[in-house]
Amino acid sequence: MITIKGMGGIEITSDYGHVYLTFIDTIAVISDMYINEASRRKGHGSLLVIECLSIARQLRCSRVMLHVDLDNIPAKKLYEQYGFKKTVVEDHMEVILNGKDQEEAPPSSV
């Protein structure tokens, strides 16, 4: 079943779990993928991913993104089966504040 949520999101539910699909411009974002424990490893997660990809294609989205913890092996393997690859976050800058990098930084001229 597909339910339209507020803010342009979609909830896709089955008898075994659910997933949310939201949109940022032309990017579809998968979140909250969940299959009931007793029903795992029977292909139900795959069906939800397939449905998300199908909707994203129908809406002519340019890409589908998601966040997955690196140690969540079942989820990572599931997504990899459908072509998902790790991204490099572009256009971000950072300073590390653990002390080490600051000690190694060249001395300030002021």
Ligand X SMILES: CC(C)(COP(=O)(O)OP(=O)(O)OC[C@H]1O[C@@H](n2cnc3c(N)ncnc32)[C@H](O)[C@@H]1OP(=O)(O)O)[C@@H](O)C(=O)NCCC(=O)NCCS
User: What is the binding site for ligand X (CB under 6 A)?
Assistant: 33-35, 40-46, 68, 72-75, 77-78, 81
DSSP 41-106: TSSHHHHHHHHHHHHHHHTT-SEEEE---TT-HHHHHHHHHTT-------S------SSHHHHHSP
Alpha-carbon distance of 97 to 41, in angstroms, equals 42
Instruction: Tell me the residue nearest to ligand X as measured from the CB.
Output: 45
- Hey, what's the torsion of the CAs at 42, 74, 67, 48, to 10 degrees? -10
Q: How far is the CB of 4 from ligand X (least distance, A)?
A: 22
Nearer Cβ to ligand X (43/101): 43
Nearer Cβ to ligand X (29/35): 35
Q: How far is the CB of 3 from ligand X (least distance, A)?
A: 19
Nearer Cβ to ligand X (65/102): 65
Nearer Cβ to ligand X (42/57): 42
Q: How far is the CB of 41 from ligand X (least distance, A)?
A: 4
